[in-house]
Structure 1
Amino acid sequence: MSHPKTAEEMIKCAGSIEAELLPRLLHVTEAAAIAASYQMGRGDKHYSDQVAVEAMRRMLNCLDMKGIIKIGEGERDEAPMLYIGEKVGTWEEDFEVDIAVDPLEGTNLAANGFPGAIAVMAMAERGGLFHGPDIYMDKIVVGPEVVKYEREHPYHKIDLDAPVRDNLEIVAEALNRNVDELVVVILKRDRHEKKIKEIRDAGARVILVEDGDLMPGVSTAIRGSGVHMVLGAGGSGEAVLTAAAMKCLGGKILARLILPTVANGKSDDEVAKEKAEKMPRLATMGITEDNINDVLDTNRLVPGRDVIFSATGVTSGPILNGVSLFGEGDARVHSITMGSSGVVKFTDTIYIHDKEETPLRYQ
């Protein structure tokens, strides 16, 4: 009797980055999450972020690769480490990778003990990640059922410029649901008041999050998560990280760069001032006033073919449990890792320093 060889075939088709670096990438996000967890609830978001950054960088520099940070903690003069353009890894092997990191996505969440903080990062071959500025991206994120529906209905696709109701109707049809059964996650910001009203007027339900819409974006591609769409303007780095996960899970993101002053409806003078400050820097990345409004899809945000993604919970959310600390420096962490091959792992890891003092406990 023959047996399906799906697992073997998927493992064999994994690229070299996925095969060699994904297991180690898990350790990187776990280390950052554990470091941040010791500061959970202490109210200092800056120090929470600092310890996560330091732990992530130490672990990245242990990896045999030639890594360059493409999405990081900011420009070199703004961030002491994991800044955009920084080289990480041993630089002794031939793996040349671009890296997107957010050592603590949801700094306020972690500092205040709120749900949903994570440590997250993605990698791809050189040139495989969008190298964009640290401004906002307005976005829509949906799961693979919508991608399949659009392929079968090429004239009925989600559109960043379409009315919210139109996009909700497409998602509802793709999921074989009514619009009033859909749940949309959006950041709780004044700039989103109009969209929130449009979602509710259409009959869909809204989950407002104070920070951290990256994992909700990933959740759109996980059946049973209870999240069907993510909307709104947030950080561009988070959009690229979401795109990396969508590349692995088969979902879709549409995004457009937008200056914070524009997104937040500031005055013409304030918009002009921000343009004067930021457009010269954006021009060095190939972004001008002629193309800043281009719609970027999943493949433009993450053009790489060998893509890996890892996220570890710091505080518990709908997909990942938070870090549990016990004993003297012992910890239990929950992560999700994935690669372009389609292999996705939920990992429950326990770190035990003294096996006699703290024996492993089941459940």
Structure 2
Amino acid sequence: MTELRDVRAGQSLCAYDLRRATEAAARAAYAWIGRGDKSQGDAAAIAAMEAELTALGFDGQVLIGEGPRSETSQLYHGQRFGDPGRIPLWDIAADPVEGTSFLAKGMTNAMACIAVAPAGSLFDPGPAFYMEKFVAPPAAKGRIDPAAAVEAKMAMLAQCLGKPVEDLTVYVLEKPRHRDLVERIHATGARVALYPAGDVAGALMAAIPGSGIDALMGTGGCPEGMLSACAIKVLGGEFSARIDPQLATERRAVETAGMDLDRWWSVDDLVRSDDVTFCATGITTGLLFEGIERTATHERTQTLMVGGGAGERQLLTSWHRRGP
């Protein structure tokens, strides 16, 4: 996987550049860990990420961000970076704090993440906010029908991975909507790893062989799904998604938009390019990496980089000198 190159500006955008945006967001959010105010931590991370994206100077447009411009003034859908007089080269999917509740409560798996792909190559979820997902390692890619019953999926996954169903562990968000799903997974004999949040972390763990998580199942956010899909496209894992509205207002909006609620989209449908760069920096320690660690003089970050010159994946630990 090569680095992304802006041929018009004569600049390169690689994972080592893009990580500055997630590291800045994570460091800004650090002060709000465990303080019970998710809005302040989110706002600090948004401002820091936006400032770094501006400093990068590439031609990109936010496809998936903090919401429509009518609801937010930073990282809003359609926000341009670079020269607004030109057609943007890159689609941006950004989540300055994935797991705002985790951040506010001082819990695991809070992270800052971003993905960049050539303009027009990412699926736009439009008014949809939720999608049902099925994620598994590369050995299962294209071999499991995402629309199949839970029991059939588990049996086929076990066959793909060469292990008994009883040895499988499935990551599921701990939500009331997943009670039946959890019961059906348990009935097959498999284990369930329940987390109240951490959609991106769970998806990436499911796509990485030998991580201890064999699959992710259930319904989560569309922004988190698209961020995960970008990374999993490079990782070579299985990722399938179906628009799954959870509120009556959301259902009306997606039906008005003519979106097919029965179609399962493959990772290649969702991310139609191999030139993808994904970066995520831990805020609190979680499944993927350690969170921010602060000393009197430095802050240590851990960042997962996928694609963009970093190969399939790299985990980078950095020390940043603190300002006065």
After TM superposition, is the score higher than 0.5? yes
Q: How far apart, in 2, do the equivalents of 1:275 and 1:162 lie?
A: 23
Partner SS for 1:16: strand
Q: How does 1:15-94 map to 2 (within 5 A)?
A: 15-16=4-5, 20-89=13-82
Q: CA RMSD in A?
A: 2.2
**Structure 2 CA distance for partners of 1:248 and 1:274, relative to 1, 3 Å:** closer
Count residues with an aligned counterpart: 318
Instruction: For 1:217 and 1:32, locate their aligned partners in 2 and report how far apart those are by CA, in whole Å.
Output: 21
How far is the alpha carbon of 1:95 from its aligned partner?
Answer: 7.0
Shift of 1:109: 0.5
Q: TM-score, normalised by structure 2?
A: 0.92
- CA–CA separation in structure 1 for the residues paired with 2:299 and 2:190: 39
> Which residue among 238, 242, 246 is the counterpart of 2:224?
238
Task: Identify if the C-alpha distance between structure 1 residues 279 and 255 changes in structure 2 by more than 3 Å, giving closer, same or farther.
Answer: closer
- 1:293 paired residue number: 262
**Is 1:141 the counterpart of 2:110 in the alignment?**
no
Do 1:65 and 1:93's aligned partners in 2 also have CA atoms closer than 8 Å?
no
The answer to whether 1:332 aligns with 2:300 is: yes
Give a deviation string over 1:271-309, Cα, whole Å, max 9, x none.
3x5544x248x62xxxx15x2332111011111231110
TM-score between both structures, scaled by the size of structure 1: 0.82
Q: Report deviation, 1:83.
A: 0.9
- Offset of 1:160 from its aligned partner? 2.5
Counterpart-to-counterpart distance in 2, 1:332 and 1:200: 39
Aligned mates of 2:86, 2:274 — CA distance in 1: 20
Classify the secondary structure of the residue corresponding to 1:294: coil
Q: For 1:177, what is the secondary structure of its paired residue? A: coil
| Unmatched 5+ stretches in structure 2 | none
Q: Which residue of 2 aligns with 1:161?
A: 147
Sequence identity percentage = 34
Query: Do structure 1's residue 250 and structure 2's residue 222 form an aligned pair?
Result: no
Equivalence for 1:217: 203
CA contact (8 A) 2:136 2:207 kept: yes
Say whether the 8 Å CA contact 1:187–1:211 is kept in structure 2.
Answer: yes
The Cα of 1:174 is off from its aligned counterpart by 1.5
Render the CA deviation track for 1:203-253: whole Å, top value 9, x for unaligned. Answer: 110111111121111112223320110011111111111110111100011
- Partner of residue 7, structure 1: none
Give 1:188's aligned residue.
174
Name the residue aligned to 1:175: 161
The DSSP-based 3-state class of the residue aligned with 2:47 is helix
Distance in 2 (CA, whole Å) between partners of 1:104 and 1:90 is: 27
1:314 aligns with 2:314: no
Residue identity in the other structure for 1:73: E
Structure 1, unmatched stretches of 5+, are: 1-9, 151-156, 262-270, 358-363
Q: Are the equivalent residues in 2 in contact too, given 1:60–1:89 (CA < 8 A)?
A: no
> Which amino acid letter does the alignment assign opposite residue 161 of structure 2?
L
Q: Say which SS state the counterpart of residue 311 (structure 1) adopts.
A: strand
